[in-house]
C-alpha cells in the first residue's frame, strides 16, 4: 500500500537524575559530596533509508520513544547516556511540526539525518553544589525532560520529470515504454492509483527519473478526484511532461483539457508552471489525431499572451514508438538546463523549554475553583520543577529561590493569594506563605 502522509508522536529520552552522595571511606575524614551526574537522554533521529518508498511503516507504528539516561551514582560516577533512536524514512520526506506548522527538515539525500526531538541533559549531582558556605549540600537535579513533539510526515516522490495530464492521456503507457517500470494500464479512468517511478537511460550515458502521477481532473486542487492527493509529488519535479490526448475518441477537446490541467497546477502552486515543460501530444497513431493536433497548435498560438512561456509540442505514439527518442532527448536537455530544486536545510528542532520573549511568558497563574488552588503553569517553571529533587529539603529550598527570582511570589501576591492558600505545579501542591 502506498502511504504518503502520516502523523506521529515522538518522545525523546529524559536525562538521568543526579545523585546526592558523600564519600564514606575509612581513612578520609569529613568526606565531601560525591554524587554523580545523570546521563543524557536519547535523541529521536530520522535517517533516510533508500530502500523505503512509502510511509506505510508509520501506519501502524505512530509513537516513538527514546530511552532515558542512567542515573548518577556515588563516587562521582556519571550515569550512562542513552543511545539515540534511529527512525528510517524514505527519500523525499518532509517533516513538519503539527502544532506550529513549521517545516523542521526536508530529507532528500541517502543516509541524511535529522534530529527531530532532543534528549534531556542529565541532572547534576551534589558535587556541583558545594560551596564555602555549604560544603556538604544535599542538592541534586533530576534529569531534564526530553522533547515531546507531534509531527506530520509527507512524502513527495523524488523524480526529475513528472507526467501530468487527464486520466487515460497515456501517462502509464508512456512510462512503460521509455522505462522498465510496469504500471497497471487499462482503458478506463483512474487506472493509476499511486505514483509510479521509472528510470530513463539514454545511449549517451544520461539518465533521469520519471514519475507517472495519478490523473488530474477539473477541481483537483480543491479536492476533486484522485489528483489532489498526489499534486504534492509534482513539487519536486524539475521538468513537466504535459500529456494531452489528441485522439478525441471520447469527444474531449485537447486544448480545453490542456488549459484545465494548467489551471489546477496554478491553483495548487503558481510557480509550477514556471518550470520547463513539454507538451506531449499522445495517441498520434489514431485516425483523427493529426487534425486535432493542428487545431490544438492553432488555438495555442491564438491564445498566447506576451508574457506566456512558449512550450514545445512533441507528437508521439507509445504504441508505434514514434517520436519517443526525440522526446527523451529533449527532456534530458531541459533537465541539464533546469536549476536544481532548493531544499530546506535540515536543522535541529526549534522548540525549546527556554523563554525567548517571542512566545508565551515564563509562567501563568490561574485559580482552579474545582480544586480550590492557585495553578502555576508554563514551560520554563514546569521544567525547573521536573528537574528538582523533591526528596531533599535543600533542593526544594533552591526551587523556592528560583521561583522568587522569576517573580512568581510577587505575581501570586498580586493575583490575590493569601497565607494558607494551596498552590499547585503539575501534580505537586504546597501551601503559600507570605
Overall size of the chain counted in residues: 434
* 192 marked among binding-site residues: yes
Question: Distance between alpha carbon 234 and the CA centroid of its chain, in Å?
Answer: 18
- Annotated binding residue at 283? yes
- Quick check: 300 and 313 in contact, CB under 8 A? yes
**Annotation-wise, does 171 bind a ligand?**
yes
Q: Which residue has the cell 549531582?
A: 125
Whether 169 has a binding-site annotation, put simply, is: yes
Whether 389 has a binding-site annotation, put simply, is: no
User: Is 88 labeled as ligand-binding?
Assistant: no
Phi, psi of 248 (to 5 degrees): 70, 20
Strand order in the sheet with 113-117: 85-89, 44-48, 113-117
Which phi and psi (to 5°) does residue 149 adopt?
-135, 140
Beta carbons within 8 Å of 27's beta carbon, 6+ residues apart = none
**CB within 8 A of 279, min separation 6: which ones?**
242, 244, 258, 311, 312, 313, 314
DSSP 315: E
Please indicate if the annotation marks 285 as binding a ligand: yes
The DSSP secondary structure of 173-232, one letter per residue, reads: HHHHHHSS------SSTT---S-EEEEEE-TTS-EEEEEEPPPP-TTGGGT-TTHHHHGG
Annotation-wise, does 306 bind a ligand? no
Map grid coordinates 532548493 to a residue. 342
Residue 133 in marked binding region: no
Supply the DSSP string of 241-273, one letter for each residue: EEEEE-S-TTS--HHHHHHHHHHHHHHH-TTGG
- CA 35/CA 24 separation, integer angstroms: 12
Does 132 carry a binding-site annotation?
A: no
The verdict on whether residue 135 carries a ligand-binding annotation is: no
Known binding positions for Mg(2+):
172, 192
Known binding positions for GTP:
165-172, 190-194, 212-215, 282-285, 317-319
Known binding positions:
165-172, 190-194, 212-215, 282-285, 317-319
Amino acid at each position: 500500500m502506498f502511504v504518503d502522509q502520516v502523523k506521529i508522536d515522538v518522545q525523546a529520552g529524559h536525562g538521568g537524575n543526579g545523585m546526592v552522595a558523600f564519600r564514606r571511606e575509612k581513612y578520609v575524614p569529613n568526606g565531601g559530596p560525591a554524587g554523580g551526574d545523570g546521563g543524557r537522554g536519547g535523541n529521536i533521529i530520522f535517517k533516510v533509508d533508500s530502500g523505503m518508498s512509502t510511509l506505510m511503516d508509520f501506519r501502524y507504528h505512530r509513537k516513538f520513544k527514546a530511552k532515558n539516561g542512567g542515573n548518577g551514582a556515588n563516587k562521582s560516577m556519571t550515569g550512562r547516556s542513552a543511545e539515540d533512536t534511529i527512525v528510517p524514512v524514505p527519500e523525499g520526506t518532509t517533516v513538519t511540526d503539527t502544532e506550529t506548522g513549521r517545516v523542521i527538515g526536508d530529507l532528500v539525500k541517502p543516509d541524511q539525518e535529522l534530529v527531530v526531538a532532543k534528549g534531556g541533559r542529565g541532572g547534576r549531582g551534589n558535587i556541583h553544589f558545594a560551596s564555602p558556605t555549604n560544603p556538604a549540600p544535599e542538592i541534586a537535579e533530576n534529569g531534564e525532560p526530553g522533547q515531546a513533539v507531534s509531527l506530520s510526515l509527507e512524502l513527495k516522490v523524488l523524480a526529475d520529470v513528472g507526467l501530468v495530464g487527464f486520466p487515460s492521456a497515456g501517462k502509464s503507457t508512456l512510462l512503460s515504454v521509455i522505462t522498465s517500470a510496469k504500471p497497471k494500464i487499462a482503458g478506463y479512468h483512474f487506472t493509476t492509483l499511486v505514483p509510479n517511478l521509472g528510470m530513463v537511460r539514454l545511449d549517451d550515458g544520461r539518465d533521469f527519473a520519471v514519475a507517472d502521477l495519478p490523473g488530474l481532473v477539473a477541481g483537483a486542487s480543491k479536492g476533486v478526484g484522485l489528483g489532489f492527493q498526489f499534486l504534492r509529488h509534482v513539487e519536486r519535479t524539475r521538468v513537466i511532461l504535459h500529456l494531452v490526448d489528441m485522439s478525441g475518441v471520447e469527444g474531449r477537446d485537447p486544448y480545453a483539457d490542456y488549459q484545465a490541467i494548467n489551471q489546477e497546477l496554478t491553483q495548487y502552486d503558481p510557480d509550477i508552471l514556471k518550470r520547463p515543460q513539454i507538451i506531449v501530444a499522445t495517441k498520434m497513431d489514431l485516425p483523427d489525431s493529426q487534425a486535432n493536433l493542428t487545431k490544438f497548435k492553432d488555438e495555442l498560438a491564438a491564445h498566447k499572451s506576451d508574457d506566456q512561456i512558449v512550450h514545445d509540442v512533441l507528437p508521439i505514439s507509445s504504441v508505434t514508438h514514434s517520436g519517443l527518442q526525440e522526446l527523451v532527448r529533449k527532456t534530458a536537455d531541459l533537465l541539464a538546463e533546469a536549476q536544481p530544486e532548493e531544499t530546506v536545510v535540515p536543522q535541529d528542532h526549534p522548540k525549546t523549554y527556554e523563554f525567548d520573549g517571542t512566545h508565551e511568558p515564563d509562567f501563568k497563574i490561574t485559580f482552579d475553583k474545582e480544586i480550590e488552588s492557585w495553578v502555576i503553569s508554563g514551560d520554563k517553571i514546569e521544567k525547573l520543577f521536573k528537574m528538582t529533587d523533591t526528596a531533599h529539603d535543600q533542593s526544594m529550598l533552591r526551587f523556592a529561590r528560583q521561583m522568587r527570582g522569576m517573580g512568581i511570589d510577587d505575581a501570586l501576591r498580586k493575583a490575590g493569594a493569601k497565607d494558607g492558600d494551596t498552590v499547585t505545579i503539575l501534580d505537586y501542591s504546597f501551601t503559600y506563605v507570605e
